Amino acid sequence: MERITLHDKTFRIFIPHNEIQKSIEELAKKMNQDFNASEVPLFLSVLNGSFMFTSDLLKHLNFQCELSFIKVSSYSGVESTGELKHILGLSADINGRTVVLVEDIVDTGATIVELYKMLTEAGAARVVICTLLLKPDAYKKDIPVEYVAMKIPNDFIVGYGLDYDELGRQYKDIYVLDTPSNQK
């Protein structure tokens, strides 16, 4: 089984690229059914982690949409700090619009809560949450996550845009932290 080493940690393949792509295609089908031609939502991709997911998702959408980016961070190493650091702000006008917030992963939900509040205060008519990965055991917030490509256990992962201290984003597969309890 293929393993990678990033900094001081080793990771093993958890979700192969073809499974990621299949899940994204299924998610896009659902979104294509839910969004109509009269609505042009703004897809707001949360950088850095969601860049690959956003790119692959948009390739499968058959309705008009706009795209913008916001960069925030709440991680240090493998732990969420629980504190949102705004790095690059919102540049698109969202007043009265549907905003689809595109995340790479939703775990504690701290980022989602802060961004949801920020977007509604900025005048968004509706904020829809879309994520590649959801950790249901970690997510205990009240804001619904309407579009989820995959649900995963509460393990630390990298690859396909996700990082460990800025390394590992470039891998096409998703890797999980390799610990004695999860080795196969």
CA dist., res. 70 & res. 138, Å (int): 23
CA dist., res. 98 & res. 10, Å (int): 40
DSSP state of 99: E
56 belongs to the catalytic site:
no
CA dist., res. 135 & res. 127, Å (int): 20
CA dist., res. 161 & res. 150, Å (int): 15
Going through 89-125 in order, the beta strands assigned E by DSSP cover: 98-106
Single out the catalytic residue among 8, 56, 93, 107: 107
Q: Is 183 exposed, middle or buried (0-12, 13-18, 19+ CB in 10 A)?
A: exposed
β-pairing verdict for 42-47 and 98-106: parallel
**What is each CA distance from 50 to 3, 123, 125, in whole angstroms?**
23, 24, 23
Which residues belong to the active site? 107
